[in-house]
């Protein structure tokens, strides 16, 4: 339970961050849980926050932590928001004791907490059956969030869309099911981009790609069904901060 507090409680910690018919506890070989913590930074505190993260990173490196995390900066939206992500194979890994986290708790409290305005934490389960990407990676990501009004229609439609796109040669994407929580998306899908040039590349979009793959009539039907199954959707772009992220084999 100590790690849970390390992950979710602002006063004591720094958050570390990877459907009715889709079980969040169905641990297929390629599935995992993604821990996501949004940290809203106080106005004028961004530089101090980033230096604080570097101090925590150094503490983890010195303590020999084996657990990586990635830190992303949200490009759009109100305020200054950083997102910390990490992955766990199962719930046992998430709730496991974290001696390094305890060791670095005081650094977190002194160097990070004073610069945070608010935090928000959620968990998501990777969906390998829908995802058509072998190794999710990139310095930029576009995240599309969906609140679903008709789960059966949504799942059938996404399954058909991803089946139609799997061999078209376009960019892949990773699907996630949000585990619990209120007033948040039910599902989200992530597209990865290596660099700004990839963001500027000419992309016809999902529906044009689908039309080329399965024909206009079927693509139009799937687009109609998808829109009918969703009550709300929104998207954000995030940029990776490699200098703030932690990878045991490369961090110094």
How many Cα atoms occupy the beta-carbon half-sphere of 221 within 13 Å? 8
Least confident of 24-28, 115-119, 171-175, 238-242: 24-28
Task: State pLDDT tens for residues 85-98.
Answer: 999 888 887 887 66
DSSP run (H or E) holding 226: helix 216-229
- Asked whether residue 33 is assigned to any structural domain, the reply reads yes
- The pLDDT-based confidence of 162 (bands split at 50, 70, 90) is very high
- The pLDDT-based confidence of 102 (bands split at 50, 70, 90) is confident
pLDDT(76) > 50: yes
- The pLDDT-based confidence of 133 (bands split at 50, 70, 90) is confident
Based on the fold, state whether residues 12 and 103 are members of the same structural domain: yes
Based on the fold, state whether residues 109 and 192 are members of the same structural domain: no
Across residues 185-194, what is the average pLDDT?
95
- Asked whether residue 167 is assigned to any structural domain, the reply reads yes
- Asked whether residue 197 is assigned to any structural domain, the reply reads yes
Give the list of residues 6+ apart from residue 44 with CB closer than 8 angstroms, or none.
Answer: none
Domain encompassing residue 209: 140-236
Q: What angle do CA 216, 217, 219 make, to 5 degrees?
A: 65
- Asked whether residue 16 is assigned to any structural domain, the reply reads yes
Exposure b/e, 131-152, CB count within 10 A at least 16 = b: bbbeebebbbbbbbbbebeeee
- Asked whether residue 250 is assigned to any structural domain, the reply reads no
Based on the fold, state whether residues 107 and 144 are members of the same structural domain: no
Based on the fold, state whether residues 10 and 103 are members of the same structural domain: yes
Regarding predicted confidence, which is higher, 31 or 36? 36
Question: Residue 232: which CATH number?
Answer: 3.30.70.100
Based on the fold, state whether residues 49 and 119 are members of the same structural domain: yes
Based on the fold, state whether residues 75 and 111 are members of the same structural domain: yes
Based on the fold, state whether residues 14 and 121 are members of the same structural domain: yes
Based on the fold, state whether residues 114 and 187 are members of the same structural domain: no
Based on the fold, state whether residues 11 and 85 are members of the same structural domain: yes
- Asked whether residue 243 is assigned to any structural domain, the reply reads no
Least confident of 62-66, 92-96, 213-217: 92-96
Look at residues 93, 126, 159 and tell me which one is the last residue of a structural domain: 126
Handedness of CA 25, 70, 146, 214 (dihedral sign): negative
Number of domains in the chain: 2
Say what the pTM is: 0.84
pLDDT(124) > 60: yes
Based on the fold, state whether residues 33 and 116 are members of the same structural domain: yes
Question: What is the 8-class DSSP label of residue 89?
Answer: S
Based on the fold, state whether residues 106 and 149 are members of the same structural domain: no
- Asked whether residue 160 is assigned to any structural domain, the reply reads yes
Contact 18, 87 (CB under 8 A): yes
- Asked whether residue 229 is assigned to any structural domain, the reply reads yes
Look at residues 126, 157, 191 and tell me which one is the last residue of a structural domain: 126
Regarding predicted confidence, which is higher, 97 or 206? 206
């Amino acid at each position: 339970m100590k790690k849970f507090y390390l992950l979710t409680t602002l006063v004591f910690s720094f958050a570390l961050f990877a459907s009715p018919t889709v079980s969040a506890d169905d641990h297929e070989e390629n599935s995992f849980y993604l821990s996501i913590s949004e940290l809203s930074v106080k106005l004028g505190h961004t530089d101090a926050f980033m230096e604080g993260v570097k101090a925590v990173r150094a503490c983890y490196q010195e303590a020999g932590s084996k657990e990586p995390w990635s830190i992303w900066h949200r490009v759009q939206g109100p305020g200054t928001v950083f997102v910390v992500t990490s992955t766990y194979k199962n719930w046992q890994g998430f709730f496991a004791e974290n001696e390094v986290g305890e060791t670095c708790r005081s650094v977190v409290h002194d160097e990070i907490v004073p610069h945070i305005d608010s935090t928000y934490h959620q968990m998501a389960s990777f969906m390998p059956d829908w995802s058509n990407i072998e190794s999710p990676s990139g310095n930029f990501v576009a995240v599309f969030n969906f609140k679903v009004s008709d789960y059966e229609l949504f799942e059938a439609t996404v399954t058909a869309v991803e089946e139609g796109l799997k061999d078209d040669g376009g960019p892949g994407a990773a699907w996630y099911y949000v585990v619990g929580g209120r007033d948040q998306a039910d599902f989200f899908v992530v597209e990865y981009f290596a660099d700004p040039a990839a963001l500027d590349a000419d992309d016809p979009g999902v529906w044009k790609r689908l039309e080329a793959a399965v024909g206009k009539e079927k693509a139009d039907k799937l687009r109609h069904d998808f829109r009918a199954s969703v009550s709300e959707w929104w998207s954000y772009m995030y940029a990776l901060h490699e200098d703030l992220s932690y990878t045991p084999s490369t961090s110094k």
